[in-house]
Amino acid sequence: MSVFDDPGLFGRLWAADYDGPGNPDPMPAVDFLADLADGGPVLELAIGTGRVALPLAERGLTVHGVEASEEMLAHLRAKPGGDQIPVVVADMADVPVPGEFRLAYLVFNTLFNLVDAERQADCFRNVARVLSPGGAFVIETFVPDPRSFDADEQVQVREVTEDSATIRLHRYDRPAQRFIRQTITFDSDGVHLKPFAMRYAWPHQIDAMAQQAGLRLTERYADWQRRPFQADSPSHISVYRAE
């Protein structure tokens, strides 16, 4: 199945490495979300291995999740407290859970893992359906920078050892605001492929999706420490509220 059609593919390919070094420290996000949760309950879309959900649960919040990958979910279940978090295995855009939630969130650019504009819009509409009045939907994404696209389309050498070599390639579809990335490892066992795709969007486009879903932007920051968002900020934390 194509990387553009299979919501669980990322988890099947990357679950074993997802908690490894190189991923962002989740604790700044946990602090921000715990402060905003207003006692909960809260919903994490693409809950993954629970890097954010478990610390929130440890602070006394009731956390629910949606996750498309059984492999990611297995890693969550293997952690202390992971079997106590109810998780629905499904496409996060469908938000197939009953409300109401005081807080829903999508962190680490995961909104862009929905590689179709309509599915991103579906996600906002379905989150709006399960938020309590005044509830918050928090997203974290990078701000696309077209100047970096040309550099990203070059071959990147990720790792070279005596036994293996790993390279990474990107291909951009600028009219569709999508890219596919392929990470290729060559070793004694053969060639190993890890495809990945995203459909990126600028903040004003995300705001439009939220507005169409009946959500309004109430806060925007450059990072989890609430530093001011500026024109040259490479990422944003945006808080949308249900009417």
Which pLDDT score is estimated for 148? Answer: 81
Where are the CATH 2.20.25.570 domain residues in the chain? Answer: 146-198
For residue 192, list its beta bridge partners. 185
Distance in angstroms (rounded) separating the CA atoms of residues 181 and 242 = 35
Half-sphere exposure of 118 (CA within 13 A, CB side): 0
Instruction: From first to last of the 243 residues of the chain, give the pLDDT tens digit.
Output: 455 556 555 555 555 666 666 678 899 999 999 999 989 899 999 999 999 999 999 999 999 999 998 989 999 999 999 999 999 999 999 999 998 999 999 999 999 999 999 999 999 999 999 999 999 999 999 999 988 877 767 788 999 999 999 999 988 999 999 999 899 999 999 999 989 899 999 999 999 999 999 999 999 999 999 999 999 999 999 999 997
What superfamily in CATH does domain 3-144+201-242 come from?
Answer: Vaccinia Virus protein VP39 (3.40.50.150)
Which pLDDT score is estimated for 18? Answer: 63
Which pLDDT score is estimated for 23? Answer: 76
Buried b (16+ CB within 10 A) or exposed e, 212-225: ebebeeeebbbbbe
Which pLDDT score is estimated for 15? Answer: 56
Alpha-carbon 230 to chain mean position: 22
Where are the CATH 3.40.50.150 domain residues in the chain? Answer: 3-144+201-242
Find all residues with CB under 8 Å of 28, minimum gap 6, and list them: 223, 224, 225
Q: Which among 51, 56, 46, 29 is positioned nearest to 237, based on CA atoms?
A: 29
Distance in angstroms (rounded) separating the CA atoms of residues 15 and 71 = 6
| Maximal CA-CA distance, the chain | 58
Which pLDDT score is estimated for 13? Answer: 54
- Under 8 Å between Cβ of 194 and 14: yes
pTM across the whole model: 0.90
Q: Is the dihedral of CA 148, 149, 155, 157 positive or negative?
A: positive
CATH topology of domain 146-198: N-terminal domain of TfIIb (2.20.25)
Give the end-to-end CA distance of the chain in Å, rounded to a whole number: 39
Which pLDDT score is estimated for 243? Answer: 77
Which pLDDT score is estimated for 154? Answer: 76
